């Protein structure tokens, strides 16, 4: 018998694997947090499955999401990325990734880690919502509004409240698994 999952991921093996193994699991590792930030940035205006299908291409193109390398990308690397058919070739998003890597490092310097910085917004504890149907989950919240404003103040790009809320869901800062989903109690 199939496991009961959140409605948004049903019917696609890649989506289901992501849902079952990653989505909503609390992430405290700075490298993985940056990866999710990059992927959510590129997801803006697109479907998440589009990004998931290109995730490995992004990983290769962006040096395994090594923010220290990305922060120092020269213009030639940016131009190469804009020619890479394996990723989303949006000039603003590619440039934002470099800018965000630089700002990410500054946050690490100030707070010791990006994890310490980002998790302080939820008092270092996952928010557990009681979502009956995935369509009821919010697109943003006052907390994602606050994080978005703070990141923008620190120079980040493509970090609107909706993108940040999706980041919070992906990295387990908030548990928006449906109550009847097998993962709700596991994460």
**pLDDT tens per residue across span 104-136:** 999 999 999 999 999 999 999 999 999 999 998
Tell me, what DSSP letter sits at residue 125?
A: S
Mean of pLDDT over the chain: 96
Summarised one tens digit per residue, pLDDT across range 10-47 is 888 999 999 999 999 999 999 999 999 999 999 998 99
Q: Could you confirm whether 8 is annotated as catalytic?
A: no
Identify any residues that bridge with 175 across adjacent strands, giving them in sequence order. Answer: 128
Is the model's pLDDT at 3 over the cut of 90?
no
Indicate which residue of 16, 22, 48, 134 is catalytic.
Answer: 48
Identify any residues that bridge with 174 across adjacent strands, giving them in sequence order. Answer: 127
Right CATH for 10-175 from 3.20.20.70, 1.10.8.60, 1.10.340.30, 3.30.70.360:
1.10.340.30
Query: Which run of H or of E encompasses 36?
Result: helix 30-43
Indicate which residue of 40, 73, 104, 184 is catalytic.
Answer: 40
Confidence at 144, pLDDT banded by 50, 70, 90: very high
Identify any residues that bridge with 131 across adjacent strands, giving them in sequence order. Answer: 178
Q: What are the extents of the domains in the chain?
A: 10-175
Indicate which residue of 16, 18, 22, 134 is catalytic.
Answer: 18
**Tally of helices (H runs) and strands (E runs) in the chain:** 9, 2
- Name the 3-class secondary structure at 94: helix
Report pTM. Answer: 0.96
Q: Could you confirm whether 40 is annotated as catalytic?
A: yes
Is the model's pLDDT at 99 over the cut of 60?
yes
Residue 1 has a pLDDT of 54
Residue 11 has a pLDDT of 85
Q: Is 125 left (phi over 0), alpha (psi -120 to 50) or beta?
A: beta
């Amino acid at each position: 018998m199939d496991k009961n999952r959140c409605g948004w991921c049903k019917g696609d093996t890649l989506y289901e694997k992501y849902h079952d193994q990653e989505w909503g699991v609390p992430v405290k590792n700075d490298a993985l947090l940056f990866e999710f930030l990059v992927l959510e940035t590129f997801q803006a205006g697109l479907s998440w499955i589009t990004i998931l299908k290109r995730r490995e291409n992004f990983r290769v193109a962006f040096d395994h999401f090594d923010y220290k390398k990305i922060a120092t990308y020269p213009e030639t690397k940016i131009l190469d990325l804009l020619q890479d058919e394996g990723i989303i070739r949006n000039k603003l998003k590619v440039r934002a990734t470099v800018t965000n890597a630089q700002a990410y490092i500054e946050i690490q310097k100030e707070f010791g880690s990006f994890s310490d910085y980002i998790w302080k917004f939820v008092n270092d504890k996952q928010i557990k919502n009681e979502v009956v149907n995935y369509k009821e989950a919010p697109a943003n919240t006052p907390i994602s509004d606050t994080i978005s404003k703070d990141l923008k103040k620190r120079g980040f790009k493509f970090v609107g409240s909706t993108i940040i809320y999706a980041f919070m869901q992906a990295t387990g800062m908030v548990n928006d698994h449906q109550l009847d989903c097998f993962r709700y109690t596991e994460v």
